[in-house]
Structure formats: C-alpha cells, structure tokens
Amino acid sequence: MAARAVILGCSGPTIGPEERRFFTSADPWGFILFGRNVESPEQVARLTADLRAAVGRDAPILIDQEGGRVARLRAPAWREWLPAFDECARLPGIGLRVRAMHLRYRLIAAELRALGIDVNCAPVLDLARSETHGVLRNRCYGDDPVEVAAIGRAVAEGLLAGGVLPVMKHMPGQGRAGLDSHLALPVVSATRAELEADFAPFRALADLPMAMTGHVVYAALDPEAPATLSAPMVRLMRGEIGFDGLLMTDDVSMRALSGDFGDRVARALGAGCDVILHCNGKPEEMAPVVAAAPRLAGRSLARAEAALTLRGGEADAGEAEAELATLGRSHA
C-alpha cells in the first residue's frame, strides 16, 4: 500500500511510544527535521533510523540545511556557512560562485547522508529584490534570473552527487513578497509580464525531482488564493514553467494560510499539489492533516517513486573539501 501524501515533523530529539504509534498508523511518505530534533550526530542518526522503523520502510527524511541563517545542523558538530547571498556577493564572477556553491552543497550532502537524511530543501531560486522580506533575502543567490538559475543548478547537482535529493523553492518565486509568510499572507501585485523574471529560474530547473510551493498570492494570476492552494497557479507551474516532478506544499501550519487543517489539505491537493508538508510536530495539528490526506496514487505516486530513485550518490567528499579550500573556504 502506498504511503500517505504527507511529510510530518516530530516533536523532539527522540520519538516516544505514543508518537511512534501515531507515525505507524499515519504512514507518512516522509519526515522533516528541525533544530528541536538535533543534539548530536549519533542522536540524529538514531532518530532517522527510528522514524524509518516506525513506518517500516526507507522513507525520505528532509531538512532545511541551506547554510547561513537557515541551518538545522550547527557548529561545533557541523560546518557553519555564510548566508548564500553573502557568499555569492564575496566571490568575483559567476564562474566562481557556481563552483563554490556546488562544492558547498556537495559537503552538506555528505554531512546529511552520514545522518540518514536524504532530502535537502534547497536550492532557493527566489530572486533577491529591494522588497524581499528579511526572512528570505540573504538566503537568495542574487537578483539576476540567469545567474540564480546557474547557481541553483550547481546547488542541485552538488546535492545529487552526494545522494541527497534537492527541493527547489519557493515555486513560482517568492522574492517580491514583502511579508513573512510564516506570519501573514503576502500579496504580490506585479503584472504577469513582470513575473516572468521570477518564474525563469524555476523554468530553467524544471527537470529537478522535487519542488516546494510558496504561500503567496499573485494577484495578476489568481487574486483569491496563495499559490499553494491555487489551481491556476499549479497549472502554471506544470504548464508554463514545465515542472512535472513531485510538488510539495510549504508548511501548512504557517499563518499565511487560513481555515482548519483539513480544509488546507483538501485545497492544496485539490489545486494539484502532490504532498502536504506539516512541520511543527504538534499532535493536535498532525491528526487532522493526516485524516484529510489520502494515500499517494496516480501521477503523484509515480512522481514520488521517480524522485526516490535518485538517492544514492558518492559518499566521499574529500575532493570537494580540498577544492573548496583553494577557493577560500566560505565557512562563517
């Protein structure tokens, strides 16, 4: 039987008997880890093994390990990195930026695989703009669509070389959002023609296996609903952008979305998303999310299975470490 079309967080660094029983019954497609789940390399490796044991299969385990401000794994056990925007700005020329970011994510992939984590929510393909909210801006790679696409490709290839699946975000482009979607619903008033630049990096990387939606209203295309819940926006992602991989929502517990959790799940899946992401590990929220989510089937199941076939790259990252040192290591 196929797994349920959800990715769930867990509450802490271990899973207790009750949480384990819930995960076994819920049978989510995957799990996602946050700082609250991280204490040491040995502990994280045990946790990922226990999560997979709870569902009885090699479920994908995700994390947001961008480096910089958004990093769930921190020093001293793991490398610290400059924010992506600062890292790219310090290097002269697109060639060096592309190579440095490839090496950075090759090393991140090695750290993740050692812990049993095999999906990283990167690259960030949003364009850095003057209005980009501070929660996102220094995570961006730049403001030029062509350069952002080239760096994003390097990030994805670095992860895949290390056996970690990339998730490009936040489709179809969140750089014009002046509000933090964790707290409020951003509305972008740009014209369809203006939005073409925001879509361009996603179109260039439309062959990647996974993508995450943005909780943003694009008024020129659908003034009623954020992209995550919008059938016209998902059709744009599938059609004009050309993405046919696994489309997961951003966290449905974010305040940009309204309605109860069952309604959020139904609307996202009805719009055309494949998998629901719920991150905070709160049982009172996870239960209605799971109850509203069906098991993967049809094209969504095929996309999920296709993505997982790409796990399993080269473990050794020694050459990447040595090459990065020659570029001037970009650790914070």
Which of 210, 136, 134, 138 has the alpha carbon at shortest distance from 171?
210
The HSE-up count of residue 35 (CA atoms within 13 Å, CB side) is 6
Which listed residue (50, 180, 182, 244) is catalytic?
182
Residue 250 appears among annotated catalytic residues: yes
Q: What's the pLDDT band for 112 if we cut at 50, 70, 90?
A: very high
Choice among 250, 251, 274, 278 that is catalytic: 250
- What are 208-266's pLDDT values in tens digits? 999 999 999 999 999 999 999 999 999 999 999 999 999 999 999 999 999 999 999 99
Query: In percent, how much of the chain has pLDDT > 70?
Result: 98
pLDDT value of position 320: 83
CATH topology of domain 4-311: TIM Barrel (3.20.20)
**How far from chain centre, in Å, is Cα 28?**
17
Share of the chain above pLDDT 90, in %: 91
Sign of the dihedral defined by the CA atoms of residues 319, 325, 326, 332, in that order? positive
Q: pLDDT, tens digit, for every residue of 40-55?
A: 999 999 999 999 999 9
DSSP labels for 45-99? Answer: HHHHHHHHHHHTS---EEE-EEETTEESS-TTTS-----HHHHHHHSSSHHHHHH
Average pLDDT over residues 96-112: 95
Give the pLDDT of residue 329.
56
Amino acid at the residue 160: L
The rounded Cα 303 to chain-centroid distance in angstroms is: 16
Task: Check residues 4 and 317 and name the one with the higher pLDDT.
Answer: 4
Which tokens belong to 263? 């309604």
pLDDT at 76: 96
Q: How far apart are CA 303 and CA 292, in angstroms?
A: 20
As given in the structure block, the two tokens for residue 104 are 């950075």
The pLDDT of 309-320, averaged and rounded, is: 81
Instruction: Give dist(CA 186, CA 280) in Å, integer.
Output: 21
Token duo for residue 136: 């996102």
Going by pLDDT thresholds of 50, 70 and 90, the confidence category of residue 328 is: low
pLDDT at 232: 98
Q: So where are the chain's domains?
A: 4-311
Q: What is the pLDDT of residue 331?
A: 46
Name residue 65's beta-bridge partners: 71
Q: What is the rounded (10 degree) CA torsion for 187, 190, 191, 193? A: -130
Instruction: Give pLDDT tens digits for 184-207.
Output: 999 999 999 999 999 999 999 999
Looking at residue 7, its pLDDT comes to: 98
pLDDT at 330 over 60: no
Q: Is 182 a catalytic residue?
A: yes
**pLDDT category, 316, cuts 50, 70, 90?**
confident
Per-chain mean pLDDT for the chain: 95
Helix (H, G, I), strand (E, B), or coil: what is residue 140? coil
